[in-house]
Amino acid sequence: MSKFGHSYRIPARTSVSDFPNTIHSQSLSIPASYPVYFTHNVFNPSNPCLFQAITHAELNRRHRIFVIIDNGVQRARPQLANDLTTYVNHYKHNMELTASPHVVPGGERSKNDPCLPTRLQKRLCQLNMDRQSIVLIVGGGAVLDMAGYAAATTHRGLRVIRLPTTVLSQGDGGLGVKNGINAFGVKNFLGTFSVPFAIVNDTQFLDTLPARHRISGMAEAVKVALIREKEFFDWLEENATALTNFEPSSLAYLVRHSAEIHLHHIASSGDPFESGSARPLDFGHWAAHKLETLSSYRLHHGEAVAIGIAIDSRYSTEIGLLSEEACGRILRLLDLLQLPSWHRILDLKGPDGLLKIIRGLDEFKEHIGGDLTLTLLKQIGEGTDVGQIDHTVIHRALSWLKQRHTSSCASR
């Protein structure tokens, strides 16, 4: 008699034939949603935005919060930790800090140090952070990725609230369900898909962002305009001067509209966890990821994406998909926004005499699951997926871009 009240008789002998082949199809329906807030001066106690982000699922409890801050943000805003403490104390009936904010290196080096996530996990363990606790990450995209990976692999997932602080992370990189770190010389080789608890975009952080970072972040807005919305591309053209002058309302619109298009795609594509091989939001990224690695990350992600956009746009023209006029508009917009369309790294060759950048196609193929599917352009605002890339045509596109770059430099 079993403990559940049923008796079983085990046959004396069994064989494989006693167990016919069967299959049970297990279906899981897991709802996933998270609020995304747009605000200004998030740590002003009179601004309830962060309070709402923390308490949106459960109001009547005291939430335990561990804060991770990008050291670049800390340098730009040395009062940040005090502002955050003041904010939490203002709402002390609903939240508490488990420790002083933890400052980590910013930029891609945070994703290149395999010890950094482990140190964060150890700290989370020491503080007895549980799956109802909140990890608040304040920083650029690389820190969001690395710290998000540490939180996602602690107790199989702590609640994460992202507070992106760059144009790139507010308009794109900090919005989705991915996190990760670089490993074995490969971009984002280790990581998870993990739905954030909430995202808070505060435009005030852009005020202290270095000019190079602000400009670099605009590349993802160009990308999403090219594959999704011609009207946004037209707006970028018309407002390029205001954007490079960092006019606050123009920069805020670029960030918010780019974020809205990205969020709409994530919600409506039917593949937020990238189980398929088509990834239109990765337009221009096969080359970008390789360029970052080849430059030892001296090239910022947005700068590498801009060059990747130029390569894929020119390739689209070389195979007859995209008109010469449209390709010219794209490259002129990159020029107007002070984004690069060429870099000398593109000339580097390996021991076999082949261009090193071409290896980026193989790595991207591995990254997306084994089948190569790239998004190219039919026209501004409309992408199309292709499954084959001709290396000869890539060389032709690269030669064309190099000649354009050389001519441009000579005319200055």
Give the CATH number for residue 335: 1.20.1090.10
- pLDDT of 17 strictly over 80: no
Is residue 370 pLDDT above 80, yes or no? no
Please say which residue of 208, 227, 254 terminates a domain. 208
Query: How confident is the model at residue 116, as a pLDDT?
Result: 96
Average pLDDT over residues 390-395: 93
Inform me whether the pLDDT recorded for 19 exceeds 70. no
Residue 280 or residue 399, greater confidence: 399
159-164 and 198-202 beta bridge pairing: parallel
Residues of the chain with pLDDT > 70, as a percent, come to 90
The C-alpha atoms of residue 44 and residue 87 are separated, in whole angstroms, by 7
Q: How far apart are CA 229 and CA 4, in angstroms?
A: 60
Whether residue 54 is contained in a domain is answered as yes
User: Residue 19 corresponds to which tokens in the numbers above?
Assistant: 């167990």
Exposure string of 357-393, with b = 16+ CB inside 10 Å and e = fewer, is bbebbebbbebbeeebbbbbbeebbebeeeeebeeee
203 with 165: CB under 8 angstroms? no
Q: Does a structural domain hold residue 357?
A: yes
**pLDDT value for 270:** 55
Model pLDDT, residue 103: 96
Amino acid making up residue 292? E
Instruction: Decide if 19 is inside a domain.
Output: no
What pLDDT score was predicted for residue 344?
A: 96
Q: Tell me what pLDDT residue 271 has.
A: 55
Q: Which two tokens stand for residue 67?
A: 């804060």
Residues 193 and 293 in one domain: no
pLDDT digits (tens, 9 = 90+) for 316-329: 999 999 999 999 99
Domain match, 141 and 89 both: yes
Query: Among 208, 228, 247, where does a domain finish?
Result: 208
CATH number at residue 81: 3.40.50.1970
In a domain, 300, yes or no: yes
Nearest CA among 48, 383, 22, 14 for reference residue 227: 383
Confidence of residue 186 (pLDDT cuts 50, 70, 90): confident
Q: Are residues 219 and 204 in the same domain?
A: no
Mean per-residue pLDDT for 389-408?
94
pLDDT of residue 363: 75
Q: Do 51 and 194 lie in a common domain? A: yes
Among the candidates 162, 187, 208, a domain finishes at 208
Domain count, the chain: 2
Q: What is the pLDDT of residues 333-354, one digit of tens each?
A: 999 999 999 999 999 998 988 8
pLDDT of 9 > 60? The answer is no
pLDDT of 357: 93
Residue 188 and residue 222 in one domain: no
Residues 202 and 350 in one domain: no
Residue 27 lies in a domain: no
Which token pair is 91? 């709402």
Of 139-148, 176-185, 336-345, give the lowest mean pLDDT range.
Answer: 176-185
Q: Average pLDDT, stretch 113-117?
A: 94
Give the residue numbers spanning the domain of 360.
215-263+276-410
User: Is 80 exceeded by the pLDDT of residue 379?
Assistant: yes
| 223 and 101 share one domain | no
Domain shared by 198 and 220, yes or no: no
Q: Is there a domain that residue 9 lies in?
A: no
pLDDT in tens, 74-93: 999 999 999 999 999 999 99
- 402 lies in some domain: yes
> With bands split at pLDDT 50, 70 and 90, how would you rate the model's confidence at 273?
low
Instruction: List CB contacts of 134: < 8 A, sequence separation 6 or more.
Output: 54, 63, 64, 65, 66, 158, 159, 160, 161, 197
Are 93 and 167 contained in the same domain?
yes
Same domain, 170 and 304: no
CB-facing half-sphere around the CA of 10: CA atoms within 13 A: 4
pLDDT score recorded for residue 31: 73
Take residue 4 and report the two structure tokens written for it: 């559940």
Q: Are the CB atoms for 121 and 153 separated by under 8 Å? A: yes
Q: Give the pLDDT band of residue 162 (cuts 50, 70, 90).
A: very high
Kindly give the pairing relationship between strand 63-70 and strand 102-104: parallel
114 and 150 in a common domain: yes
186 shares its domain with 283: no
For helices 248-268 and 230-238, angle between their N-to-C axes, nearest 10 degrees: 170
